[in-house]
Amino acid sequence: MVIQLNSQIKVLHIHTRGIVGGSGTNTLLSMAGLPQDKFIPILACGSEGPLVDEALKKDLAVVILPHLKNKINIFDDLLALFEIIGLIRQEKFTIVHTHNSKAGILGRFAARICGVPIVVHTLHSCVFNYPNLNWFQKRFFLFLEKLAAKITDKLITISEPLKDEFIKAKVASRDKFITIYSGVEIEKFKLHSNIAEKKQELGIPENKFVVGIVGRLDEGKGHEFVLKSVPLVLNEVKDVVFTFVGDGPLRKSLENLATELGIRENVIFTGIRNDVAEVLQVFDIFCLASLYEGMGRVILEAQVAGKPVVATRIGGIPDIVCENKTAFLVKTKDASSLAGALLKLIKDDSLRQAMSDAAEEFVSFKFSSEKMVADIIKVYEELLKNTLEYD
């Protein structure tokens, strides 16, 4: 197969769900940043939703795969595999680039069945190490990842610790991996919004100190431990509001927990917001208590916005902060340590300002979306040269 340099190369990105999270944002930025004279990117997604809306705003082509769902279901999964095969055969892609565990497994096998020359997969998390899975589930997902890795040309990890997890689990040899940090739109998160107006919109009293949390209200994000830290913080500082941005299946139980703890007046659940860059400006501290993170993109976004971070020392998080300079890291499932780190920042204005300045500079230098896209293009071009007569 001969590909001319002046010909456009079709690239299919496959993402499981239509939600805008770290992996979804990574996918859209990866697609939108590709030079239009060389590449034609198309997004295949399991459902409509905010991710699809954002893709269309960026003038990206989108195909919905109705049976590509997050939960395992033999019937749906087989139909999703056939849907992907049909799409690939119809559009004749040169590169298939998959994301997430489900889309990654089905998409890569579909690509090889169809004889796609280049298959790339971005690893956003290590599903077989999720703490909420039982032994059998972990072994099953590990088996699938090892199987799919054999038919993958390049595995992209979004942090060095994440790469180390996959290598330790012997998913593939080290030379098959490359770390490309998930990039952030730097200028987007450096904006200066009207904080008083945004606080009023969110229902936050103007004189309150704000600890902000952004993330899906789902298992593994550790939101319950943030809530358990609130009474400990309020014992020493009264005028603090904890603002949770996002939605998910645990929202009701988290609201109930806040009520049980007697802190409901100091906790706000905003639901899904399409103005996260503006909402981040309202926060005085950003907090994330995840039990696992492949990287933690939102932490990068918070740092670009100049917010000191309190987060758990887990997964790829230590790789994207400068500990004790831009962020304090604590153990998982430890409300007391969370409260201690938060109070240290709440009580010290000069420390917060110093960490804020350091955070913005740190991310701007190393984690731009432009650098991420440039690194992905290098992967594509190297594989094109090695796989095809790329003249």
Mean pLDDT throughout 68-88? 95
Helix 101-113 × helix 74-91 angle, to 10°: 50
Whether 134 and 209 map to the same domain: the answer is: no
Whether 246 and 282 map to the same domain: the answer is: yes
Whether 274 and 137 map to the same domain: the answer is: no
pLDDT at 288 over 60: yes
Tokens of 6: 């002046």
| 149-195 pLDDT per residue, tens | 999 999 999 999 999 999 999 999 999 999 999 889 898 898 778 89
Position with higher pLDDT, 127 vs 278: 278
DSSP 207-218: T-EEEEEES-SS
What is the predicted pLDDT for the residue at 361? Answer: 87
Spatial distance between the Cα atoms of 292 and 354, rounded to a whole number of angstroms: 28
Domain count, the chain: 2
What is the predicted pLDDT for the residue at 163? Answer: 95
What is the predicted pLDDT for the residue at 4? Answer: 45
Whether 117 and 227 map to the same domain: the answer is: no
What is the predicted pLDDT for the residue at 67? Answer: 96
Position with higher pLDDT, 131 vs 46: 46
Spatial distance between the Cα atoms of 246 and 261, rounded to a whole number of angstroms: 21
pLDDT at 261 over 80: yes
CA dihedral 16, 18, 19, 21 (to 10 degrees): 50
Compute the mean pLDDT over every residue in the chain, rounded to the nearest whole number.
Answer: 93
Tokens of 385: 């040269």
What is the predicted pLDDT for the residue at 5? Answer: 46
Whether 227 and 355 map to the same domain: the answer is: yes
pTM of the model: 0.80
Mean pLDDT throughout 284-308? 94
Whether 112 and 242 map to the same domain: the answer is: no
Whether 294 and 257 map to the same domain: the answer is: yes
As a whole number of Å, the end-to-end CA separation of the chain is 11
| 228-245 pLDDT per residue, tens | 999 999 999 999 999 999
Whether 169 and 311 map to the same domain: the answer is: no
Whether 71 and 142 map to the same domain: the answer is: yes
Assign 389 a pLDDT band (cuts: 50, 70, 90). Answer: low
Assign 388 a pLDDT band (cuts: 50, 70, 90). Answer: low
Assign 327 a pLDDT band (cuts: 50, 70, 90). Answer: very high
- Domain ranges, residue 41: 2-183+368-390
- Which CATH number is 152's domain given? 3.40.50.2000
Mean pLDDT throughout 354-373? 90
pLDDT at 1 over 70: no
The one-letter amino acid at 245: V
φ, ψ for residue 297 (rounded to 5)?
Answer: -50, -40
List all residues 6 or more positions away from 101 whose beta carbon is below 8 Å from its beta carbon. 16, 125, 127, 141, 144, 145
Other residues' Cβ atoms within 10 Å of the Cβ of residue 242? 25
Whether 316 and 348 map to the same domain: the answer is: yes
Whether 323 and 213 map to the same domain: the answer is: yes
Three-class SS of residue 96?
strand
Tokens of 61: 């082509």
Among all chains, which residue has been given the structure tokens 């926060």?
A: 283
Cα three-residue angle 171-373-69, rounded to 5 degrees: 55
Whether 375 and 362 map to the same domain: the answer is: no
Helix 297-304 × helix 349-366 angle, to 10°: 110
Assign 3 a pLDDT band (cuts: 50, 70, 90). Answer: very low
